[in-house]
Chain A
Amino acid sequence: MKQLDLRRFPGFFAITLACVFVLYAPLMVVAVYSFNESTSITRWGGFSLSWYADVFTGPESPKFQRAALNSLIIAVLAGSGATLIATSAAVAMHRAGRFKAKTASFALINLPLMVPEVVTAVASLIFFTAIGFSGGIGTILLAHLAFCIPFAYLPIAARMQSISDSYEQAAMDLYATPKEAFRLILLPLMMPGIFSGFLLAFIISLDDFLITNFVKGAGVETLPTAIFGAVKQGIKPNIMAISTLMLGVSVVFVTLSWLIGRSGQKTQ
């Protein structure tokens, strides 16, 4: 049978270009204009790093620094917590044999990926109000922890899939208790997946706006909500500088997550 070659389809190249343009042109504009000399966000006034300097030393810098610190703390804690839960879930799903509601468990773990984010946001807000939690770092952390679990779970489960249970059997055959077999054999073998899962959960938490905005309460800002707040009073080029910095961090982390996940796969 002749192989179906998508690249030979008429218009393939044009459609590809259009997609790439629509996806990335706005980002390019933001990234390019963050190096603009002038205060205008549409007119090019020459190359300059002054807006980056403004981000770190300008009049608004204390606000953004506090927000960035909040974001970082929340992302580290929510990412770690979600990774821990996702790791436990992955081990249970792949090592507990067949149990009742296994498919249901799998669906439940991954459901947050399918639920519209605004629904999760509203539900979280209602939930916290109902149990009397006032908005703050705590509520943001809990909400992030919950929706980061499936993102951490995916790379860990993928990794787990490729680890044969004969390694743990071999360990136990060689006098390792189940705990030792887990700590000395399974956990090190899962590590690339766990690390990759953590990075993904971390970046998802760091970048989240919608859910955060609903549950954060007054006075507490993360970097995305602080940017949104600043934009409401008009877009200044320093916002573009911050956005570009965040974009850079995201790209680095996602790439890292992918590279680590892949390198782990190769040693198998």
Chain B
Amino acid sequence: MTGTVISIDRVVKSFGTFTALHEVSFDIADNEFFTLLGPSGCGKTTLLRCIAGFEPVSGGQIRLNGKDIAPLPPYKRPVNTVFQHYALFPHMTVLENVMFGLQRLGWSAMDAQGRARQALELVHLSEFLKRRPAQLSGGQQQRVALARALAPEPRVLLLDEPLSALDLKLRQAVRMELKQIQRETGIAFVFVTHDQEEALTMSDRIAVMSNGHVQQIGTPREIYETPANRFVADFIGETNLIEVPVLGISGGLAEVSLPGGRRVHCPTRLVDGKQGVLSVRPERIDLCPAAEADMIVTAGEQVYLGTDIQLKAHLAGGQEVTVRLQNAAATVLPERGTELGLKLETGAARLLAA
């Protein structure tokens, strides 16, 4: 049985005349890996700092197990943070760093040491207890920060882009480990990132934010395959956005006229409208003979990506369409300037508000 651990309820944050968060609301469940995803300046870090208590909210409530914690200072919130640059105390050893929170909570030095050792074991850092943070690598520092934040067993763990300072290989390894630690501890993680790949691979649910608004909340699959609007479709992964006239909508299915005149049905959340924008992922478009094609394009530049080949093509009106083809032995690439037929996979296109 999983209940709601933290409720963000119409939270507003303004800095002078600038509003960073516009009545943001959502619930996070116990044991959930929840990600706030958005471009820089979208308000995700501000929201995290509001939950941690470093920024006072301008309005709304933050309820932890039903109790509003928004008026409490950070040291009275059972919430811990892994900072972007870790903020490990440089004058203390690794063990002292991890013991710090426990001792402030009134644990005896002996109990705190025992718990700190457990936390450091969880992140595989048991050999480095006596070292100073400056003597550790970036990846190790990140683990210490994680152990330090987990040791007091907070109700919610906040992570502020903790992987951004690591190099690519390490980042990929740490992702899996973070997810595993989250499952083992059962603590709700609120993870802030601008990296969509990170968000998609780790999260149970993602909240996509922009300009202080939550654009969509859903599982990685929902966010990627059924984006709520143009911003989400464009921000998460690659997509082709094609403006189309809408012929009719009924029961969540729209009939639209593709460039070139062919009519297709596609899923939508819209209920009416004359104009819309079609979002089609590049990997869900196939090449086909012109007779069966949904759209006719002229082949353009090719970009070799290893596992895939990206093909840029142009509609008669000049708009660019990107197609991703698997780099299989049988893949025959069209020459530049040739006419191609494109076939949309069934259900691949979604109609969004223009």
Contacts and interface: CB of A to CB of B under 8 A. Distances in A.
On whether the two chains bind one another, the answer is yes
A233 interface: no
A256 interface: no
A166 B83 contact: yes
A97 to B, nearest CB: 12
Contacts of B54: 169, 173
Given A175-B75, A175-B152, A176-B75, A170 B87 contact: yes
- B interface bracket (residues with beta carbon within 8 Å of A): 20 to 34
B104 A180 contact: yes
Nearest to B158: A173
Given A171-B100, A175-B101, A176-B104, A189 B91 contact: yes
A267 B90 CA distance: 8
Q: Give the one of A169, A174, A267 with max B CB within 10 A.
A: A174
B89 A170 contact: yes
A167 B83 CA distance: 10
B78 to A, nearest CB: 9
Nearest to A163: B90
A58 interface: no
Contacts of B81: 169-170, 173
Contact of A166 (B75, B87, B134, B148): B87
Nearest to B134: A267
Contacts of A172: 53, 73-75
A167 B89 contact: yes
B311 interface: no
Contacts of B316: none
Interface string B54-90: 1000000000000000000111100111010101111
A172 to B, nearest CB: 4
B259 to A, nearest CB: 51
A168 to B, nearest CB: 9
A178 B104 CA distance: 12
Contacts of B74: 169, 172-173
A185 interface: yes
A184 B91 CA distance: 10
B52 interface: yes
A175 B87 CA distance: 15
Nearest to B100: A174
Interface in B67-126: 73-76, 79-81, 83, 85, 87-91, 100-101, 104-105
A174 B90 contact: no
Contact of B52 (A164, A173, A189): A173
A40 interface: no
B100 A176 contact: yes
A164 B90 CA distance: 11
Contacts of B83: 166, 169-170
A178 B53 CA distance: 13
A3 to B, nearest CB: 33
B261 to A, nearest CB: 59
A176 B52 CA distance: 13
Contacts of B88: 170
A174 B101 contact: yes
Interface in A169-214: 169-178, 180, 184-185, 188-189
B221 to A, nearest CB: 33
A16 interface: no
B90 A189 contact: yes
Given A174-B80, A174-B148, A188 B91 contact: yes
A234 B258 CA distance: 107
A129 to B, nearest CB: 48
A268 interface: yes
Contacts of A177: 75
Nearest to B88: A170
Interface string A146-174: 00000000000000000010110111111
Contacts of A180: 104
A185 B104 CA distance: 13
Contacts of A174: 75, 80, 100-101, 104, 148-149, 152
A98 B81 CA distance: 26
A267 B75 CA distance: 27
A174 B79 CA distance: 8
Contacts of A175: 75-76, 101, 104-105, 152
A187 B100 CA distance: 16
A62 B11 CA distance: 74
Contacts of A189: 90-91
A172 B100 CA distance: 10
A117 B75 CA distance: 48
Interface of B: 52-54, 73-76, 79-81, 83, 85, 87-91, 100-101, 104-105, 134, 148-149, 152
Given A170-B87, A175-B104, 14 more contacts: A166-B87, A169-B81, A172-B74, A173-B52, A173-B79, A173-B80, A174-B80, A174-B100, A174-B101, A174-B152, A176-B75, A178-B75, A184-B100, A188-B91
Interface of A: 164, 166-167, 169-178, 180, 184-185, 188-189, 267-268
6 contacts: A164-B87, A169-B54, A172-B74, A173-B75, A174-B152, A267-B90
What are the 3 A-B residue pairs with the smallest beta carbon separation, nearest first?
A174-B101, A175-B104, A170-B87
